[in-house]
Amino acid sequence: MQFPDDDNGKMLAAMADAGIDLTKQLDVDFFLVFDDQRDAEYASEELGKSELEGEMELHLNDDLGQWELIVCIPMVPEYQAIVDQEVELNTFAQEFGGVTDGWGVMQHQDGDDEFADDEHECSDECKH
C-alpha cells in the first residue's frame, strides 16, 4: 500500500508493516487536549450530545499537564477518512480552547489475553 509522506501516512504505513489489516474496521482513538478542565468537560458534554458514533474518555494527562479527551471511533482506517476526522475534531476542539493531538489504535497481539495491557501505537504527533 502507498501512503502520503506525512504523519498520518507514516502511521498507516507502520500499522500495515506491523500486520494490521487496514481494510477492516478498527477502534481509532483521537486525542484532544485542553489546558482548562472546565473547557475539556464542556467539550466532552457537547461532543456527547452530537451525532458522533464512538466512545469518549476524559482524564488529566500528567505527562502533558493537560486534560485529554480520547474519542474512540470505529472506522476503517483509510487515509482520507483519518484526515477528515482529525480536521473535524480539531475544529470542534478549538471552539473550547483545545486542539487535536494525534491518533492511534490499540494493537492486539498473539498471546494477549483479555486482561493484558494493550500496546498503544501512536502517530508521530502523539505525546504519549
pLDDT band at 54 (very low <50, low <70, confident <90, very high): confident
Lowest mean pLDDT among 23-27, 30-34, 79-83, 109-113: 109-113
- Cα dist from 57 to 3, 47, 61, 71, whole Å: 30, 11, 12, 7
Q: How many residues does the chain have?
A: 128
Question: What does the pLDDT read at residue 40?
Answer: 97
Distance CA 107, CA 4 (A): 22
Average pLDDT value for residue range 67-93: 96
How sure is the predictor about 123, in pLDDT bands with cuts at 50, 70 and 90? low
- The predicted model scores a pTM of 0.81
